[in-house]
Structure 1
Amino acid sequence: MFRDKAPWWAYVAILLTSIGAVLPLAWLFLLSLDPNQGIASGSGVYSLKNYASVIFQSMMAQYFLNTTIVALFTVLCTLTCATLGAYAASRYRFPGRETIMIGLLLASMTPVIAVLVPLYALAAKLQLLNTYSILVIVFTAWQLPGTLWLLRSFMNSIPPELEEAALVDGCSRAGAFVRIVLPQLVPGLLAAGLIVFVYVWNEFIIAVSLAAKQDMRLVSVGLYFYLSDFGVEWGKIAAGAIVSIIPPAILFLFLQRQLIHGLSAGAVK
Structure 2
Amino acid sequence: MAVQNERGSRTIKRTVTRTCTYLILAAAACFTMFPILWAVSTSLKPESEVLMYPPSFIPLTLTFENYYKVLFQSNYPVYFCNTILVTAITMLAAVMISSHAAYAFARLKFRFSDAIMFAVLMTAMIPAVAQLSPLYVLSVKTGLYNTKLVLILIYAAWRTPIMTWLLKGFFEQTPKEIEEAAVMDGCSRIKIFYQMVLPMSKPGIASVALLSAVFVWNDYLVSSSFVSSEQNRMLSIGIYNYVTAYGTMYGQLMGGVCMAIVPIVILFICLQKQFVAGLTAGAVKG
Give the TM interval when normalised to the shorter protein.
Answer: over 0.9
Conserved in 1, the CA contact under 8 Å of 2:124 and 2:162?
yes
Cα pair 1:63 1:218 within 8 Å, conserved: yes
Match of 1:240 in 2: 256
Per-residue displacement from partner, 1:219-262 (whole Å, max 9, x unpaired)?
11110121112211111110000000000001111211111111
Instruction: Decide whether aligned partners of structure 1 residues 174 and 8 sit closer, same or farther in structure 2, where only a CA change above 3 A counts.
Output: same
- SS across alignment from 1:268: coil
Are 1:73 and 2:89 counterparts? yes
Q: Aligned AA for 2:195?
A: R
User: For residue 199 of structure 2, what is the aligned residue in structure 1?
Assistant: 183
Could you give the per-residue CA deviations for residues 49-71 of structure 1, whole angstroms, max 9, x where no partner exists? 10001111111111111111111
Question: Runs of 4 or more off by more than 6 Å in structure 1?
Answer: none
Corresponding residue for residue 37 of structure 2: 26
Stretch deviating more after TM superposition (97-106 or 155-164) = 97-106
In structure 1, which of residues 125, 131, 144 is the aligned counterpart of residue 141 of structure 2?
A: 125
Question: Percent identical across equivalent pairs?
Answer: 35
Matched-pair contact (CA < 8 Å) for 1:153–1:265? no
* Partner AA of 1:201 in structure 2: W
Q: Answer yes or no: is the 8 Å Cα contact 2:95–2:209 preserved in 1.
A: yes
Contact in 1 for aligned 2:151/2:226 (Cα 8 Å) = yes
Q: Which one-letter code corresponds to 1:184 in the other structure?
A: M
In structure 2, give the amino acid aligned to 1:141: A
**Deviation digits for residues 15-44 of structure 1 (CA, Å, limit 9, x no counterpart):** 210110111111111111122167552373
Q: Name 1:196's counterpart in structure 2.
A: 212
Name the CA distance, whole Å, in 2 between partners of 1:38 and 1:125.
Answer: 50
Matched, 1:11 2:11: no
Query: Per-residue deviation at 1:177?
Result: 1.4
Structure 2 regions of 5+ residues with no counterpart? 1-13
Q: What RMSD, in angstroms, separates the aligned Cα atoms of the two structures?
A: 1.7
CA contact (8 A) 1:191 1:263 kept: yes
Distance in 2, Cα, partners of 1:231 & 1:221:
17
Any stretches of 5+ residues in structure 1 without a counterpart?
A: none
Distance 1:136 1:38 in 2: 41
Is this contact kept in 2: 1:156–1:266, CA < 8 A?
A: no
Structure exhibiting the larger radius of gyration computed from Cα positions: 2
TM-score (norm: length of structure 2): 0.88
Question: Partner residue of 1:151?
Answer: 167
| Closer/same/farther in 2, CA of residues 13 and 36 from structure 1, 3 Å limit | same
Q: Structure 2: which amino acid aligns with 1:254?
A: C
Task: Tell me the CA shift for residue 165 of structure 1.
Answer: 1.0
